[in-house]
Amino acid sequence: MAKDVSTVILETLASVGVRQIFGIPGDAINGLVDAVRRQDLIEFVTVRHEEAAAFAASAQAKLTGTLGVVVGTAGPGAAHLLNGLYDASLDSAPVLAITGQVESSLLGADSHQELDLQDLFGDVAAFTETLVNPEQMPELIHAAVRQAIGNRTVSHLVIPSDLALAPVPESNTSFYVPGGWRARPCDEDLEAAAHLIGEASAMTLLVGIGARDAAAEVLALAEHLHAPIIKTLRAKDLIPDEHPLVIGGLGLLGTEPAVHAIERTDLLLMVGTDFPYEDFYPEKAKTIQIDIDRTHIGRRTRVDVGLIGESEESIRALLPIVSASTDRRHLERAQAEMREWLEQMRQAESDDSVPIRPQRVAAEIARAAGPGTIYLCDTGAVTVWAARNLRLQEGDRFTLSSNLASMAFALPAAIGAQFAYPDSRVVALAGDGGFSMLIGDLITAVAHELPITVVVFNNSKLGLIQMEQEAEGMPEFATRLANPDFGEVARAMGAEGHRVEAPDELGPALATAMASPRPAVVDVVVNPEEITMPPRIEPRFVLGYARAKLKEIAGKGVQEPGLAPLKEPVKRLTDRL
Ligand SMILES: Cc1cc2nc3c(=O)[nH]c(=O)nc-3n(C[C@H](O)[C@H](O)[C@H](O)COP(=O)(O)OP(=O)(O)OC[C@H]3O[C@@H](n4cnc5c(N)ncnc54)[C@H](O)[C@@H]3O)c2cc1C
Ligand SMILES: Cc1ncc(C[n+]2csc(CCOP(=O)(O)OP(=O)(O)O)c2C)c(N)n1
Ligand SMILES: [Mg+2]
């Protein structure tokens, strides 16, 4: 008997290891969803918002490197997917989106729920095609999957509702997705890089997620050359945070030792990173960049030697042609600064103040969770605490909405992660803004009995935005959030819920939540006044902050409750700021 279009799609997806499809059934996509019902290799996970589906699939793809799949119906269901798909696209995560569409005979007739989906997805997806004839199968689904996996990107397939269950003629097309290839830079470039390394006396490594499979090689090279290692935030889980060669991260969320090491370095070696913050690159040092994508070489900073190849192969090729360094001064200075920095961090992390300091929350999460945990992090001030105070150990995993920097990633990403790794501990670090944005999907975790733990850093505000406003000299405005008790909300939704207001309640609440076989939310009231200090303080930020604070005292954010207007003379002064 001939197979239908949807069955052919599902067989292809199962053959590349897909085990869940995230989405919402209905209207134009019912045929595909019915085909899922009729097989047992792939599960359909009904979410409460298609954006959550796309974040879940994106997180799976980022963590596993294999294909994530989402489904949305024509029109609104498809449109809701977009933000999560952009997250996947910007973080090079292979995700396939399948959307329904009006009947093929109505295409282009401005029918009910008809959007031009190829146009709409044209920017986010590297591949977007509409099925117009069942005979395009299985080649069309093969092409979509090959693109997504092969180019680590987003593919999109549009299935008009009348074609989802249409029979596909027999075909003997075989499907082959090539595995990774071991690309090695050419000898001339390796020689040029070795020459620069030989001349350097203060070399520093900046290591990104493109070194995912090269942690051992990175460590061997750093050891060989006495070079400290800086990790991008996306690559936080590559090497444990307290490894003696690691000196933290670079950028606003980075560490002082990393900023200082960059100031002193005379040779930067970038390994698998597209680190975007140009101001943080060294001003004068020479740079070598290893990247698999030649269009990324030199696009963020001036590069002297580009090594086009995989991180692992490139370092393996470099190691035998560079002599071991005997000069440990650059490394030892950075290590001494790192010990001091960690000591400073530990002070905030063990502070007993009420309201609880968010640094303490991040540190206690890592302590309670233990090694081998998968962490998913939101965008906000919460990212700062995760970057600096959530110290990862060997075997931990960590990911976030890195290049898109979208709010609301942590909860749905935790759902995706727990499906992919049913036996691992999965912990989401959420902002109160981010958590409430897609809070409905806590019900998805409840429905599937996923034992995820969501820790809400509840500062009753869009904390990072307040800091942005103040750094620019604007008074805090429109950032306050009137929140419910999220522990209570969680319980009403069928999850376990805890509310924590005092530091000594934190450890027990985290331990109980993490031991629970059900999803658990720990709503931690954190200090809303905690400021995230950048590792390098620009005078204009200090001035901006002072101006903003004066304006706040003068009551210029007046629409917000709680800010008393100031007396006229001060007001006149701040009006001029
Ligand atoms: C609120 C917020 C604040 C942030 N602040 C910071 C910050 O202060 N510091 C920071 O570092 N990040 C920060 N980020 C993340 C930042 O925006 C970037 O996403 C991140 O720095 C990029 O990391 P990356 O270079 O490792 O990854 P990508 O940008 O994904 O780059 C990876 C690179 O590796 C290459 N590659 C892939 N595979 C291979 C391979 N096998 N071999 C060789 N090359 C390969 C790719 O072509 C690409 O060029 C923040 C994010 C958020 C949400
Ligand atoms: C979808 C989306 N909308 C808006 C923003 C801009 N933004 C970045 S961080 C942030 C505040 C996040 O607040 P919260 O989740 O409470 O975290 P906090 O900063 O307070 O820790 C906002 C609005 C964004 N990154 N993503
Ligand atoms: Mg907040």
Mean pLDDT of 129-135: 98
Check whether the bond before 138 is cis (ω within 30° of 0): yes
Tokens of 279: 């101001």
Confidence of residue 573 (pLDDT cuts 50, 70, 90): very low
Environment class of 436 (CB within 10 Å of its CB; exposed 0-12, middle 13-18, buried 19+): buried
Among all bound ligands, the one having the nearest atom to the CA of 403 is: 1
Picking from 112, 55, 111, the residue whose alpha carbon sits closest to that of residue 81 is 55
Q: Three-state secondary structure along 492-541?
A: HCCCEEEEECCHHHHHHHHHHHHHCCCCEEEEEEECCCCCCCCCCCCHHH
Asked whether 463 lines ligand 1 (CB < 6 A), one says no
Rounded CA separation 208/403 (Å) = 12
Q: Say how far apart CA 398 and CA 388 lie, in whole Å.
A: 13
Q: How far is the CA of 381 from the centre of ligand 3 (A)?
A: 7
**What distance in angstroms lies between residue 78's CA and the mean position of ligand 1's atoms?**
28
CB 577 within 8 A of CB 547: yes
Ligand 1 binding pocket includes 77 (Cβ within 6 Å)? no
In the reported structure, the alpha carbon of residue 274 is separated from the centroid of ligand 1 by a whole-number distance in angstroms of 5
Could you tell me if the CB of 380 is within 6 A of ligand 2? yes
384 Cα: distance to centroid of ligand 2 (angstroms): 12
In this structure, which residue's CA is closest to atom 8 in ligand 2?
A: 380
Of 252, 357, 359, 379, best ligand 2 pocket probe by most atoms within 8 Å of the beta carbon? 379
Residue 355 CA to ligand 2 center (angstroms) comes to 21
> What pLDDT does 176 receive?
83
Residue 99 Ramachandran class (φ > 0 left, ψ -120 to 50 alpha, else beta): beta
Q: Which ligand is in closest contact with the Cα of 289?
A: 1
pLDDT on residue 567: 45
Tell me what pLDDT residue 239 has: 98
Residues 210 and 364: their CA atoms lie apart, in Å, by 29
| pLDDT score of 574 | 47
Q: Are 419 and 63 in contact (CB under 8 A)?
A: no
pLDDT band of 564, cuts 50, 70, 90: very low
Choose which residue among 465, 468, 476, 526 to substitute to test ligand 2 binding: the one with the highest number of ligand atoms within 8 A of its C-beta: 465
Ligand nearest to the CA of 460: 3
Does residue 575 have a pLDDT over 70? no
Q: Is the peptide bond before 355 cis (omega within 30 degrees of 0)?
A: yes
Q: What is the DSSP string of 166-230?
A: -EE------------------HHHHHHHHHHHHH-SSEEEEE-GGGTT-HHHHHHHHHHHT--EE
Q: How many CB atoms lie within 10 A of CB 532?
A: 19
3-state secondary structure (DSSP) of residue 336: helix
pLDDT at position 430: 99
Per the CB < 8 A criterion, the answer to whether 421 and 382 are in contact is: no
Please determine, for residue 544, whether its predicted confidence score (pLDDT) is greater than 90.
no
Q: What is the mean pLDDT of the chain?
A: 94
Any atom of ligand 2 within 6 Å of the Cβ of 405: yes
Furthest-apart CA atoms within the chain: distance in Å = 86
Distance 486 CA to ligand 2 centre (A): 18
Going through 351-480 in order, the beta strands assigned E by DSSP cover 374-377, 397-400, 426-431, 453-458
Which atom of ligand 2 is found nearest the CA of 380?
19
The answer on pLDDT for 531 being more than 90 is: no
Provide the whole-model pTM: 0.96
Residue 104 has pLDDT above 90, yes or no: yes
Q: What is the residue with the minimal CA distance to atom 29 of ligand 1?
A: 274
- Compute the distance from residue 437 Cα to the ligand 2 centre, in Å: 10
Q: What does the pLDDT average to over 193-219?
A: 98
Of residues 95 and 560, more confidence is placed in 95
Which residues have C-beta within 8 Å of that of residue 429, sequence separation ≥ 6? 362, 365, 375, 376, 377, 378, 382, 385, 386, 390, 410, 455, 457
CB of residue 433 inside a 6 A radius of ligand 2 = yes
- Count Cα atoms within 13 angstroms, Cβ side, for 436: 17
Atom of ligand 2 nearest to the CA of 379: 9
For ligand 2, atom 13, the nearest C-alpha belongs to: 462
Q: d(Cα 312, Cα 211) in Å, to the nearest integer?
A: 7
Q: Whose CA is nearest to atom 16 of ligand 2?
A: 433
- Decide: 431 in ligand 2 pocket, CB within 6 A: yes
∠ at Cα 109 (103, 110), nearest 5°? 100
Q: What is the DSSP track for 535-563?
A: SS--HHHHHHHHHHHHHHHTTTTTTSTT-
Distance 236 CA to ligand 1 centre (A): 10
Please name the residue whose Cα sits nearest to atom 52 of ligand 1: 405
Q: Read out DSSP for 269-333?
A: EEES-----GGGS-SS-EEEEEES-GGGTTSSS--SEEEES-HHHHHHHHGGGSPPP---HHHHH
Atom of ligand 2 nearest to the CA of 434: 15
> With bands split at pLDDT 50, 70 and 90, how would you rate the model's confidence at 551?
confident
pLDDT band at 556, cuts 50/70/90? low
pLDDT tens readout for residues 146-183: 999 999 999 999 999 999 999 999 988 888 877 777 89
Q: 24-49, pLDDT tens digit by residue?
A: 999 999 999 999 999 999 999 999 99
Q: Separation of 405 CA from ligand 2 center, angstroms? A: 9
Q: What percent of the chain has a predicted confidence (pLDDT) above 70?
A: 96
Ion ligand 3 neighbours, Cβ < 5 Å: 431-433, 459, 463
Decide: 185 in ligand 1 pocket, CB within 6 A.
Answer: no
Which stretch of 12-21, 537-546, 553-562 has the lowest confidence by average pLDDT?
553-562
